[in-house]
Each structure stands twice: as C-alpha cells, then as structure tokens.
C-alpha cells in the first residue's frame, strides 16, 4: 500500500482510496439498515442495548487502527473473498426476507473477510473481540427468546414475590402476575427476559477485555457467574417496581421509575460483577496482558 499524507488520527501508510471505497460500500449497505433498526427493534426495551453495543464495537475497532495498519502479516485473499461473498449473499437474503439475524451477522462476516483480504489471519486475531462483541447486538430468534423468557419470568416472579412476602408486604402471585395491595403488576419480558441477561453478559465480556486477564479459567468463571448475577439484578428490578407501586401508586410504577429501575439493574449488576471479580482474584492469577 502506498503511503499518503494523512491526519494524525489515521494510521500511517494507509491506503486512503481503498478505505474510502470500502467505507462507502459499507455505508451504502448498512446505512438504511441502521436507520430502520433505530425506529423498530432498537426502539424496544428488549433491544435498546443495540446502539450501545454498536458504538462500543466501533470504538474498539477505531482504537486498534494503528496496530492493525502497522501489522506485518500475510494476507489471506482466498478465505477473505470467500467470506465476503458468503456475507453478501447472507445480506441479500436477510434484507429480502426481512431476517435481521442474517443482516446483522453479514456485517460481522464482511468486516472479518475484509480484514483477511488485507491483513490475513493475524489481523483477524487482532480485532477478534470487537467483531465478537458485535454478536451481542444481533437480535435473538423470537422462538428462542420466547422459550427461555417464559421460565425466567416465572422464576423471577416467584423469588421476588417470596422475598417481599417474607419482608411483610401483602404480595401475592399468579403465574407472572404480582398483586400488591390493590395493584396488579405483570412481569414483562424486559424485566426478566433473556435479552437483559444477554446485555449484562456483554457488559461482562467488555469488562474482561479491558482488564485483559491472562487466566482463561478466571475469565470463563466470571462469564458463567454473570448469569446468576443477571438473574439477581432482575429480581431486584422487579422488587423495586413492586415497592414503588405499593407506596406511590400504579402511575408512579409505570412512569419514570420504570425506566430508572432498568438503570438500577445495570448499576447493581456492575457492582456485583466487580465484587465477584475481586473475590475471584483470591483464587486465580491476577496478571494481565499488554494493553494495545
């Protein structure tokens, strides 16, 4: 690639024409996709984390730009172009059939294929985490969400109502319907569903990537423990909504506090994750890899 004079934020020796061409192609393909997502799926409580995941992924890729550009590695054009062609076919099928999983996965594969074409497998290993992190913004299949969310809501409702009842509150439960005083609350998917656990798992993965622990056992253990942490956070969210409704009425429970309880969920999950990480440090190696 020929070296050109470029701004400080661009890596040295970058092929500007190739970069502009690839960027224009990606913008042409996925610009309308993100516009549609912003007014449909990403506008829902269940998938509201999508823009955050996307922004973090872009930031991670941008942070690795200098290292990637300076990487001396052998290109893998055969594998790269094969993945690019497959990704384009998946994109066309996803757009034509309105299958968001295909469309979003195609973007990840395209970025992986382009990396292989220019920087080979070493380049792909360098940016594997940002591409992997993008998987968390891929909408899950509705059948999977429905099959997993139902028992999760039942479990969260059972534990939350039991704890509040033992604390002396007049709480009853019928399935996922909670009764507190004169009010009835339905535990929605956003309060106890698979997507909230998916989001919290993404938060944990990002934390582990930033910490760069060299112990694989420690990272795997923390990733597994994040599942019950997410479950506990969901229980706390439901309990907060029940108590707000009990003391301040149904309008308060469904208003600003309902959204604020979601923020409390993530703050609580973050605190529990940090405490768990400190605890794991007593048993696992605390050494870290080099920062990029």
Asked whether the beta carbons of 9 and 69 are under 8 A apart, the reply is no
DSSP 140: P
Which contacts (CB < 8 Å, 24+ apart) does range 157-165 have? 157/187, 157/192, 157/238, 159/235, 160/187, 160/235, 160/238, 160/239, 160/242, 163/235, 163/239, 164/239, 164/242, 164/243
Residue 292 within any structural domain of the chain: no
Stated pTM of the model? 0.78
Using CA atoms, how far apart are residues 90 and 108, in angstroms rounded to an integer? 11
pLDDT-based confidence at residue 261 (cuts at 50, 70, 90) = low
- Lowest-confidence pick of 85-99, 221-235, 258-272: 258-272
Whether 116 shows a pLDDT value over 50: the answer reads yes
Catalytic residues: 191, 237
Same domain, residue pair 127 and 179? no
Overall domain count for the chain = 2
Question: Which of 56-70, 114-128, 212-226: highest mean pLDDT?
Answer: 114-128
Quick check: helix, strand or coil at residue 8? Answer: coil
Residues 119 and 155 in one domain: no
Q: Tell me, what DSSP letter sits at residue 11?
A: P
Quote the radius of gyration of the chain (alpha carbons, Å): 23
253/236 same-domain check:
yes
Same domain, 161 and 275: yes
Q: Which residue has the higher pLDDT, 271 or 147?
A: 271
Residues 93 and 170 in one domain: no
- Reduce the DSSP state of residue 180 to 3 states and report it: strand
């Amino acid at each position: 690639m020929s070296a050109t004079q470029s701004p400080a934020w661009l890596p040295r020796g970058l092929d500007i024409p190739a970069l502009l061409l690839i960027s224009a192609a990606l913008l042409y393909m996925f610009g309308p996709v993100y516009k549609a997502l912003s007014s449909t799926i990403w506008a829902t409580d269940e998938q509201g984390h999508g823009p955050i995941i996307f922004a973090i992924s872009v930031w991670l890729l941008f942070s690795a730009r200098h290292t990637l550009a300076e990487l001396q590695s052998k290109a893998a054009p055969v594998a790269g172009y094969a993945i690019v062609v497959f990704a384009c076919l998946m994109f066309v099928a996803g757009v034509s059939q309105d299958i968001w999983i295909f469309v979003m996965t195609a973007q990840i594969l395209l970025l992986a294929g382009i990396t292989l074409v220019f920087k080979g497998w070493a380049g792909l290993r360098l940016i594997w985490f940002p591409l992997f992190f993008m998987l968390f913004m891929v909408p899950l299949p509705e059948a999977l969400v429905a099959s997993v969310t139902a028992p999760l809501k039942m479990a969260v409702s059972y534990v939350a109502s039991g704890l509040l009842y033992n604390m002396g509150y007049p709480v009853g439960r019928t399935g996922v319907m909670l009764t507190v005083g004169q009010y009835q609350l339905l535990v929605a998917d956003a309060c106890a569903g698979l997507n909230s656990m998916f989001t919290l798992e993404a938060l944990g993965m990002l934390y582990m990537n930033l910490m760069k622990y060299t112990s694989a056992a420690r990272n795997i253990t923390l990733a597994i423990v994040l599942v019950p942490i997410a479950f506990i956070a969901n229980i706390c969210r439901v309990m907060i909504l029940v108590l707000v409704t009990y003391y301040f009425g149904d309008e308060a429970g469904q208003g600003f506090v309902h959204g604020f309880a979601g923020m409390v969920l993530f703050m609580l999950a973050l605190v529990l994750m940090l405490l768990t990480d400190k605890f794991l440090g007593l048993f696992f190696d605390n050494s870290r890899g080099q920062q990029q």
